[in-house]
Amino acid sequence: MQPLLLVWEESQILLRILNGSFQTLDVIKERIFHDLFCSKANLDVIDMRQDNIVQNVNRDEQGSKDWSSKGNESNQEGDSTVGFNVLDAMLKRSLDRLKSMRERILSAEAGISNCTLEINFNKDAYVVRAMCLDGKLGAALSLWWNMIQNSIVPDVITHNYLINGLCKNGELEKAEWIVRGMLYRGPSPTCAAYNSLIRGYCLMNDVDKALNTFSTMANHGIIPNRVTCNILVHALCKKGLLEQAKNLFYKLLSKNHVRGSSDLITSTIMMDGCFKNGDTDQALAFWKRMLKERIQVDKVSYNVVVHGFCLSHDEGTAYKYSCEMLKLGFVPDVYSYNTLVGALCRQGKTSDACYIYDVMTRMGVIPDQITYKMVIHGLCINKEIDRATCFLDYMLENSIIPEPLVWNVIIDGYGRCGDIQKASYIRGKMVAFGVLPNIYTYNALIYAQIKSGNFSAAQSLEKEMLLYGLTPDSVTYNLLIGAACNLGLLHSALQLHDELLRKGCQPDVITYTELLKLFCLQGMMREADKLFGKLLASGLAVDHVPFLILMKRYCRMREYNKVYDLYQQWLMTMPR
């Protein structure tokens, strides 16, 4: 077993203790809410307060987790001491949290009589916000418009919720329209509103428009903040414009003489960008700068480093950082586990990947679609299809309905192993769970049938997909044409080729090669030469296969001049 796996075992004990205390806290939390509800008459007002409390509790929880990591930094005595310190800190935090919750409840109680009016007045605004967070933007917009028409102008924050929701939905025009309305009738848009717009444009891959909005801000006297820069740095990195991103980063540094945790996110973005653009050295330079400047790194930045080394296929170093992260007391989350699972699957170490899956579930980290997708994909590549199907069942047991890709990978896996029964069974299950088969599903099924020599079954599958409104692609046609060619069914092959063209599908090198093979087999050399000329004129990247097929044939026909010509032609296509 790898050393990494031993560390996981060790850390498990510590993390179980942590999980246990969080569960205890949840029980306490529930009890308090229960008491709160039973002792109050005006539930309406309590509702609002409860939201506040929940938010604060969540924030506190976040805080205490962060603390645990900082606390470990200064403690070099050993892992058990670290564990107790973390636990102590958590208990202290939870007591503080209970105290502040109690205070909040008391003050809510005291303020009920004079708060009711004000809260009810703002209620619509809160509904607008809630609807925005829920993605129900149409409803949010109409309620907001209703308010405006009744001369009730909601506050800036509510407006920002709307703008942000619209931007995340890609409805930039509507968001811009709201901002224009704000400039005209108030409240004046804040930096957050513009940040939402900028991010919205970045998500639409329109960095120019984002930069445009960035300069518009200044015209309205709004100074971009760090978040604005983070959004832009991120977008520039994603576009591969590392130099521009770096420039912005250093400009930001020079503006902020006070360095602190705020550097963390920007640095993490830069590091991630460098890793993803293949510049590991530059990424490490950012990491070292962070350590040198005594910026408290966090779980996310560790996840970025681990993933970065996985990207550059240096899994050993990735594991090293992953262990370092554990030793510092960071509790791995779904990103940490998924990164490892992904790396192990890529290396074909499916057993280790399954082991990590096991560890994460035991730690109470719930595997998500991505975890399952990677494990299932990895197992199918390794031809462990039955094992992959087990994971499919785990997903279904946990009420995660996989996207078509996951089903298709398994169907394809069974097909490649020649197990049509199981492939069809999975297709049936997929339909039963309400997931519609797509073109890849059919291509996998067609492949399975062809591999088992059932050309007519493959053909009826093609008819079936047309019936369901799916258009076969070049892969479908290549499979069918290839099968027809191998069976020497000249007529079927040409008919399929004809159908391909009629459907507006572009034949690719494979299509041409299959047909070429057929013409050669049938001794139709005039057609073969004509098709070959068409292939060379098509502009498609031609590999050696069509040349070899023709040369072999002409060899057998003893037309050595032809063979020589082809050989010369082939040399011409090679890079010099």
Partner DNA sequence: ATAGGGTTAG
Q: Contacting DNA (CB under 7 A), which of 231, 283, 360, 375?
A: 231
3-class SS of residue 472? coil
Number of chain residues interacting with DNA (CB under 7 A): 55
What does the alpha-carbon distance between residue 300 and residue 292 come to, in Å, rounded to a whole number?
18
Q: Which is nearer to DNA, 97 or 299 (CB)?
A: 299
Binders of DNA among 170-189, rule CB under 7 A? none
- Quote the least distance from Cβ 278 to DNA, whole Å: 14
What does the alpha-carbon distance between residue 282 and residue 140 come to, in Å, rounded to a whole number?
45
Q: Contacting DNA (CB under 7 A), which of 21, 50, 190, 454?
A: 190
Q: Which residue has the tokens 């939870």?
A: 94
What does the alpha-carbon distance between residue 576 and residue 572 come to, in Å, rounded to a whole number?
9
Question: Does residue 447 interact with DNA by CB under 7 A?
Answer: no
CB 518 within 8 A of CB 485: yes
Degrees to nearest 5, angle at CA 292 with 288 and 297 = 70
What does the alpha-carbon distance between residue 60 and residue 67 come to, in Å, rounded to a whole number?
10
Question: Does residue 153 interact with DNA by CB under 7 A?
Answer: no
- Quote the least distance from Cβ 414 to DNA, whole Å: 14
What does the alpha-carbon distance between residue 574 and residue 365 come to, in Å, rounded to a whole number?
52
- Quote the least distance from Cβ 344 to DNA, whole Å: 12
Binders of DNA among 264-283, rule CB under 7 A? 264-266, 268-269, 272, 276
Q: Which is nearer to DNA, 265 or 551 (CB)?
A: 265
- Quote the least distance from Cβ 409 to DNA, whole Å: 6
Q: Which residue has the tokens 């962060």?
A: 66
Binders of DNA among 513-552, rule CB under 7 A? none
Q: Other C-beta atoms within 10 Å of 45: how many? A: 19
Question: Does residue 303 interact with DNA by CB under 7 A?
Answer: yes
CB 479 within 8 A of CB 458: yes
For the stretch 272-282, what's the b/e string if a residue is b when 16 or more beta carbons lie within 10 angstroms of its beta carbon? bbbbbbeebeb
CB 415 within 8 A of CB 445: yes
Q: Which is nearer to DNA, 167 or 528 (CB)?
A: 167
Q: Contacting DNA (CB under 7 A), which of 239, 346, 429, 503?
A: 346
Q: Which residue has the tokens 């991630």?
A: 272
Which whole-number Å values give the CA distances from 307 to 9, 338, 363, in the listed order?
Answer: 21, 10, 21
Q: Contacting DNA (CB under 7 A), which of 304, 326, 353, 483?
A: 304
Question: Does residue 389 interact with DNA by CB under 7 A?
Answer: no
Q: Which is nearer to DNA, 72 or 228 (CB)?
A: 228
Which whole-number Å values give the CA distances from 238 to 226, 244, 427, 523, in the listed order?
Answer: 18, 11, 37, 53
Question: Does residue 489 interact with DNA by CB under 7 A?
Answer: no
Question: Does residue 68 interact with DNA by CB under 7 A?
Answer: no
Question: Does residue 199 interact with DNA by CB under 7 A?
Answer: yes
Direct distance between the N- and C-terminal alpha carbons of the chain, in angstroms, rounded to an integer? 48
Binders of DNA among 48-67, rule CB under 7 A? none
Q: Which is nearer to DNA, 83 or 224 (CB)?
A: 224
Q: Which is nearer to DNA, 171 or 565 (CB)?
A: 171
Q: Contacting DNA (CB under 7 A), which of 101, 172, 353, 374?
A: 374
What does the alpha-carbon distance between residue 500 and residue 471 come to, in Å, rounded to a whole number?
10
For the chain, give the longest Cα–Cα distance: 104
Of 335-343, 386-394, 420-428, 497-505, which segment contacts DNA by CB under 7 A? Answer: 335-343
Q: Contacting DNA (CB under 7 A), which of 14, 388, 409, 446?
A: 409
Query: 160 Cβ partners below 8 Å, 6+ apart?
Result: 189, 190, 192, 193, 196
Question: Does residue 404 interact with DNA by CB under 7 A?
Answer: yes
Return residues touching DNA (CB under 7 A).
155-157, 160-161, 164, 190-193, 195-196, 199, 225-228, 230-231, 234, 262, 264-266, 268-269, 272, 276, 298-301, 303-304, 307, 333-336, 338-339, 342, 345-346, 368, 370-371, 373-374, 377, 404-405, 408-409, 440
